[in-house]
Chain A
Amino acid sequence: MERYKSSIPTCLYKLGFIAVILCVPYIIRNLYYLHLINLIGIYCLVVIGLNILTGYTGQISMGQAGFFAVGAYTSALLMMKLGLSFWVATLIAAVVAAVLGIIIAIPALRLTGPYLVMATVGFGEIIRLILVNWVPVTRGAAGLTAIPAPSLFGFRIISEKSFFYLIYIVVALGILIAVRISNSKIGRTFIAIREDELAAKSMGVPTNTYKVSAFAISAIYAGIAGSMFGCFSGVASPDAFTFNDSVGFLCMSIIGGSRSIYGAFIGSVTLTFVSELLRFMQLYRLIIYGAILLLTAILMPQGLSGMGPVFRKFSHRWKGKRRLHGNIQHSQRKER
């Protein structure tokens, strides 16, 4: 009964939060900002996957743009050449990405640290180079254009506003599933592998299966995000999926805090907005961007989402001081 009572307010909070989110396209009228917000949602999905792989399981990937690209191209080609619907195409794209994730996981199983970084970088580059060179299918450097818009019950999702709802429903589902996985036995096992693979193995954990699954999960997230990205921007060209993009995803993950699912959202919001806010600085924009990366890496080892305890400590100290101060005043008053 007690549990029931306490769950009413949290339920209200949740409903309120959802209501606010649903109103966003009506509050933010500027289409450019809405466009950015949509992009953030797409990036967020990629970074959630990356957090499960890197933050939870401890497998650094610097080739996430490869899965993102595979998702975008697979679904776009399926829609354009075979006339499949967006939903079926996305499903297939996710499966294709997952298969590639498993394939890259096989050599990755034996690798750690820099060796794993190299393998994932190599994977991302291989995908990009295939996109550039397989001209008959991918149209090479020019890329695919006029990727059709998704439609649902005859309603075409084409405006920024309708994309907002599509993207954020998927993001919400993505976060929900990721949180459930990370709080479950699976998430716990991922963390155990990150902390000490040999000990995990000695506790009966089939570590290889779990590492392959982590790669597959991250690939599925990136693949679905890629599929939406293709439809959302209408074009897909190899230069949207470079090593720099992979690095960008990793930065979002680290800045937001790779050991938290919500960190993925914080990271993608922060990095996207920072890079937009710096636009007015033109030439110096990227210099400052680099400096921000550097400072985050130094000052926030756990990313922004890991700052919670630090803030709490500060606020405790502040409150403590105030209380102490109050006590002193109180006792002084007494003395008088």
Chain B
Amino acid sequence: MDHGEQPILELRNISKRFGGLKALEEINISIETGTVHGIIGPNGAGKSTLFNVITGLLRPNSGEILLKGNPLSHIPPHRRIPLGLARTFQNIRLFKNMTVEDNVLVGQHVHTPTLILSIICGTRPAIEWENKAKESANTCLRRVGLESMKSQFARNLSYGEQKLVEFARALATEPELILLDEPAAGMNAEEKAGLLKIISKLRDDRYTVVLIEHDMRLVMEICDQITVLNHGKKIAEGEPQIVRNHPDVITAYLGKGSNAYAGTR
């Protein structure tokens, strides 16, 4: 059922209210397969809420989400993973007392069968599946450059490394669409450069990446498309060049009368 140019993710008129607060208002976004899509906006613009709605942790008050053309609305969060949707968190949510490898293995959960009898009897199939899962976990760790750290406890890693483990864990769910919530926050310049490389490699491999990020330089460099949110509304959308010079965006970020972003590059 390949429609050629069908978007991988489509949000139609998504609204979400918290009491009187309109966190998202009539959001329409369409994300093409194999692109890197940035979602930016000032604090409180509704970016993380948008991710929570897409992953199903929050239910929208109205609107529709389509993944590869299939509506997601009534699918609980954990069943959206096998459909090819994965995410990372703004505040790192690793399994701190597990090793890096085990963290990534949990990402493999939906792709390995749970052979209870085989596990109890210690027979071949369970061992083979476990080895297979470990192999692909290692592949994911290699992608983010942390294979050498796999037997460390997650809690002992640096902030930037922990972000990468989360990234690897999301990759381990074998997604087609990855949502990254502020992947570069807390990273140093070197780590950010590494992150850029990882993301562009993913794009080359036909993954679709959606990222929320505050680091404009990084966003402008990597994203094919950018959506700007402010106060729960979409105020601009398009290629980095267009968004950067959009008057509403400049107003939203810097207040009226500013023109600072025009010359950052």
Asked whether any CB of A lies within 8 Å of a CB of B in the complex, the reply is yes
- Do the beta carbons of B57 and A192 come within 8 Å of each other? no
**B142 sits at the interface (CB 8 A):** no
Of A186, A192, A207, the residue contacting B95 (CB under 8 A) is A192
List CB contacts (< 8 Å) of B114-155 with chain A.
Answer: 114, 116, 119-120, 122, 126, 129-130, 133
- Do the beta carbons of A188 and B89 come within 8 Å of each other? no
- Do the beta carbons of A185 and B112 come within 8 Å of each other? yes
- Do the beta carbons of B96 and A195 come within 8 Å of each other? yes
- Do the beta carbons of A202 and B55 come within 8 Å of each other? yes
Secondary structure at the A interface, as helix, strand, loop or mixed, is helix
Of A188, A192, A202, the residue contacting B87 (CB under 8 A) is A202
A198 to B173, CA, bound (A): 16
Q: Quick one: closest A residue to B111, CB to CB?
A: A204
**B81 sits at the interface (CB 8 A):** yes
Q: Known A192-B95, A196-B93, A199-B89; judge A180-B105 contact (CB<8 A).
A: no
Q: Known A191-B95, A192-B98, A195-B95; judge A200-B114 contact (CB<8 A).
A: no
- Do the beta carbons of B97 and A180 come within 8 Å of each other? no
- Do the beta carbons of A184 and B126 come within 8 Å of each other? yes
Q: Quick one: closest A residue to B172, CB to CB?
A: A203
Q: Known A185-B114, A192-B95, A195-B98; judge A205-B109 contact (CB<8 A).
A: yes
A180 to B122, CA, bound (A): 7
- Do the beta carbons of B82 and A204 come within 8 Å of each other? yes
**B77 sits at the interface (CB 8 A):** yes
**B78 sits at the interface (CB 8 A):** yes
List CB contacts (< 8 Å) of A155-177 with chain B.
Answer: 177
A195 to B94, CA, bound (A): 8
- Do the beta carbons of B77 and A201 come within 8 Å of each other? yes
Residues of A within 8 A of B89 (CB): 199, 202
Residues of A within 8 A of B109 (CB): 185, 189, 203-205
- Do the beta carbons of B105 and A204 come within 8 Å of each other? no
Encoded as 1 (CB less than 8 Å from any A CB) or 0, chain B from 164 to 175 comes to: 000001000100
**A107 sits at the interface (CB 8 A):** no
Residues of B within 8 A of A185 (CB): 105, 109, 112, 114, 119, 126, 129-130, 133
- Do the beta carbons of B173 and A195 come within 8 Å of each other? no
- Do the beta carbons of B107 and A177 come within 8 Å of each other? no
Q: Quick one: closest A residue to B166, CB to CB?
A: A199
A27 to B182, CA, bound (A): 64
- Do the beta carbons of A204 and B112 come within 8 Å of each other? no
A263 to B129, CA, bound (A): 28
Residues of A within 8 A of B110 (CB): 203-204
- Do the beta carbons of A177 and B169 come within 8 Å of each other? no
**B102 sits at the interface (CB 8 A):** yes
Residues of A within 8 A of B114 (CB): 185-186
- Do the beta carbons of A191 and B98 come within 8 Å of each other? yes
- Do the beta carbons of B107 and A203 come within 8 Å of each other? yes
List CB contacts (< 8 Å) of B76-91 with chain A.
Answer: 77-82, 86-87, 89
Residues of B within 8 A of A177 (CB): 120
Residues of A within 8 A of B79 (CB): 204
**B106 sits at the interface (CB 8 A):** yes
A205 to B82, CA, bound (A): 10
A202 to B86, CA, bound (A): 8
Q: Known A184-B126, A186-B119, A202-B55; judge A195-B97 contact (CB<8 A).
A: yes
Q: Known A180-B120, A186-B119, A196-B93; judge A207-B106 contact (CB<8 A).
A: no
Residues of B within 8 A of A191 (CB): 95, 97-98, 102
- Do the beta carbons of A199 and B93 come within 8 Å of each other? yes
Residues of B within 8 A of A195 (CB): 94-98
**A181 sits at the interface (CB 8 A):** yes
Tell me the minimal C-beta distance from A126 to chain B in angstroms. 30
Q: Known A180-B122, A199-B93; judge A188-B105 contact (CB<8 A).
A: yes
Q: Quick one: closest A residue to B133, CB to CB?
A: A185
Residues of A within 8 A of B93 (CB): 196, 198-199, 202
- Do the beta carbons of A200 and B106 come within 8 Å of each other? yes
**A206 sits at the interface (CB 8 A):** yes
A192 to B95, CA, bound (A): 6
Q: Quick one: closest B residue to A208, CB to CB?
A: B78
Of B57, B78, B126, B133, the residue contacting A204 (CB under 8 A) is B78
List CB contacts (< 8 Å) of B36-57 with chain A.
Answer: 55, 57
A220 to B120, CA, bound (A): 15
Tell me the minimal C-beta distance from A33 to chain B in angstroms. 33
A274 to B142, CA, bound (A): 50
A52 to B173, CA, bound (A): 26
Q: Quick one: closest A residue to B113, CB to CB?
A: A185
- Do the beta carbons of B98 and A188 come within 8 Å of each other? yes
A139 to B144, CA, bound (A): 65
Known A177-B120, A192-B98, A196-B93; further 6 A-B contacts with Cβ < 8 A: A189-B109, A199-B89, A202-B55, A202-B57, A202-B89, A203-B81
10 contacts between A and B (CB under 8 A): A185-B119, A185-B126, A186-B116, A189-B106, A191-B102, A196-B94, A199-B95, A200-B95, A203-B107, A203-B109
| 4 closest Cβ pairs, A-B complex | A204-B81, A195-B95, A204-B110, A199-B93
Residue positions of B touching A, CB distance < 8 A: 55, 57, 77-82, 86-87, 89, 93-98, 102, 105-107, 109-110, 112, 114, 116, 119-120, 122, 126, 129-130, 133, 169, 173
